[in-house]
Amino acid sequence: MSIFKKASRTLIRSKLSYLPYSQSAASFCSRPRQNSKEGSTIDLNEYPSDNIRNFSIIAHVDHGKSTLADRLLELTGTIRKGHGQPQYLDKLQVERERGITVKAQTATMFHRHKFLGSDTYFLLNLIDTPGHVDFSYEVSRSLAACQGALLVVDAAQGVQAQTVANFYLAFESNLAIIPVINKIDQPTADPDRVKAQLKSMFDLDPSDALLTSAKTGQGLEKVLPAVIERIPPPPGKNTSPLRMLLLDSYYDEYKGVICHVAIVDGALHKGDKICSAVTGQSYEVNDVGIMHPDIVPTGILLTGQVGYMVSGMRSTKEARIGDTLHHTRTVIQPLPGFKPAKHMVFSGLYPADGSDFEALNHAIERLTCNDASVSVTKESSTALGLGFRCGFLGLLHMDVFHQRLEQEHGAHVISTVPTVPYIFEYSDGSKLQVQNPAALPSNPKDRLVACWEPTVIATIIIPSEYVGSVITLCAERRGEQLEYSFIDSQRAFMKYRMPLREIVVDFYNELKSITSGYASFDYEDSQYQAADLVKLDILLNGQPVDAMATIVHKSKAPRVGRELVEKLKKFIDRQMFEIIIQAAIGSKVIARETLSAMRKNVLAKCYGGDITRKKKLLEKQKEGKKRMKRVGSVDIPQEAFHELLKVS
């Protein structure tokens, strides 16, 4: 036997040894055949739309979505078992550090399955989605490219708040839902109780639930057959003109903007001329392919397939998420797209060094290409200079955005206290929507008639023994109870209408603390309600610091004012002059702290003599301090802004 034949046998053996869960050599051959013209390109013509399944994995935080996605990628041979990187589709550094999914990621898999009496190759597009409430916009965009969803529920934790929210997102999108009860290997797992919860809350047939353990591989062999048999193929038409939905985009230094697209009708080929339905701009397709799981060029995408496209877009503003792309010189009906993201929290972003404004502008532009749910407008502050007012879906979303700016783009930023959008009505009939508290006049010319603040419908699921303490917490946060029931003998389901201002900062942390970490929490936006609101200004030596202004409920203003000035006193460095820190509503000061001046002992050289000499030196020092106070400036460190985030 020649050395080449021996080497090829060894290579096949080594490939087979990587396959998980005792797959046979036949299943290794289920990998797609290569196109003879392009050795590295997969031939997608072999997969008509009837052989395509697009599905998403949705669940509450930490119920095992990403681990299940890993196992499915291994089962289909898309990645090797023991690839050394758990949560393979969590590619961002912030995702790996925090152990959460932030961005929805797509992967194409190929699987052979006996369907309708014959062995058939199927193309499966898997989308792994985030579980945290702040990233529900990512989930809704992912579901637009799918015909079905795996609803993953922890066998020990059971149905939780985000499980409820994600189920209704999928239900409203008319997706086929396959319940998957995960982590059945845990000692505290109780699949029967979870099945009863799925039946009582969602009316899902308990017999349809798949019992799995993504960690050990138990029951996973039933998942892909269920996807193929229960989820319908994409409904598009091959013969219709091209229509594709722009799902996501990110910026590559070498290729420009890379777009993730779903082909709804027709086909996309490399070299095609395409046009945007929103901007009207035309492009030439330079590269097209699938994520398998990384970029694999195929030269073509057919009806129902999900992949990537490079078209020479150089500006991130050209890639509009939810846009319909089509061939030039064709008339098409644009796709519905997505609902615009509703921003719940607004915060100012300023460069730590004023000269870095252009670099920060460049970094934010690149990052918003990959995170379309952030709104950005330019603003200026007398204290911090030029910066941006950004809208986020929640506090974790804001925190992750800041972290990505620092890690991926090396930007150093100062962020202001997060606020929510309010509406103020004056006696002349005018209404003012305020996203930045500094824009609200402290002493308006016209009398203030009414104020409105945004509210949310909060869903809380807790063990029944914590009901009393959670009701107390919600009452303190001005919550109004809407619903209270029991899922089963051990868990309570509660709905509250609450002011958004009361939950954006530390409500979730307090809820987790008083329930020993067992509570799950989700919210959706509701209407505005009337409230007694006031603007709270922070003054340093009589000068207002616009970046620290905030809007609070009148009943909480004295407490919040005291906490703010006490925290600032700890973090502002002492100067050669006295610093007076005040919290004021209009012209009325409600809290004050004084930071004493550092003073040199000017009497050290006086060993005796007349008292008038000493008085003369002290008076001279006093005059110098007054002059310093008039011209001196106070630097506010970044830590002070971070600490103010914790004051509600």
The whole-angstrom separation of Cα 464 and Cα 213 is 28
Helix (H, G, I), strand (E, B), or coil: what is residue 288?
Answer: strand
The whole-angstrom separation of Cα 524 and Cα 457 is 5
Q: Which pLDDT value is given to residue 635? A: 65
Helix (H, G, I), strand (E, B), or coil: what is residue 583?
Answer: strand
Beta bridge partners of 543: 540
Residue pair 248/259 in contact by the 8 Å Cβ criterion: yes
Burial class (CB in 10 A: 0-12, 13-18, 19+), 278: middle
Q: Which pLDDT value is given to residue 266? A: 92
Q: Which pLDDT value is given to residue 483? A: 92
Residue pair 83/335 in contact by the 8 Å Cβ criterion: no
> Residue 553 is encoded by which pair of tokens?
């409920």
Which H or E run contains 579?
Answer: strand 579-585
Q: Which pLDDT value is given to residue 18? A: 35
Q: Which pLDDT value is given to residue 582? A: 92
Beta bridge partners of 256: 252
What DSSP state is assigned to residue 12? H
Q: Which residues of the chain have pLDDT under 50?
A: 1-40, 631, 648
Per-state percent for the chain, helix, strand, coil, to nearest 5 = 30, 30, 35
Residue pair 454/421 in contact by the 8 Å Cβ criterion: yes
The whole-angstrom separation of Cα 213 and Cα 215 is 5
Is the four-CA dihedral 208, 213, 216, 217 of positive or negative sign?
positive
Which H or E run contains 535?
Answer: strand 533-540
Provide the whole-model pTM.
0.72
CA atoms within 13 A on the CB side of 337: 14
What DSSP state is assigned to residue 203? -
Q: List the one residue out of 118, 374, 104, 88 whose CA is nearest residue 228.
A: 118
Give the number of other CB atoms < 10 A from CB of residue 403.
16
How confident is the model over 496-538, as pLDDT tens digits?
Answer: 999 988 887 778 878 888 888 778 888 888 889 999 999 998 8
Residue pair 260/325 in contact by the 8 Å Cβ criterion: no
Q: Which pLDDT value is given to residue 11? A: 37
**Angle CA 106–396–644, to nearest 5:** 160
Q: Which pLDDT value is given to residue 80? A: 77
Bond into 441 cis (ω within 30): no
Residue pair 268/244 in contact by the 8 Å Cβ criterion: yes
Residue pair 377/347 in contact by the 8 Å Cβ criterion: no
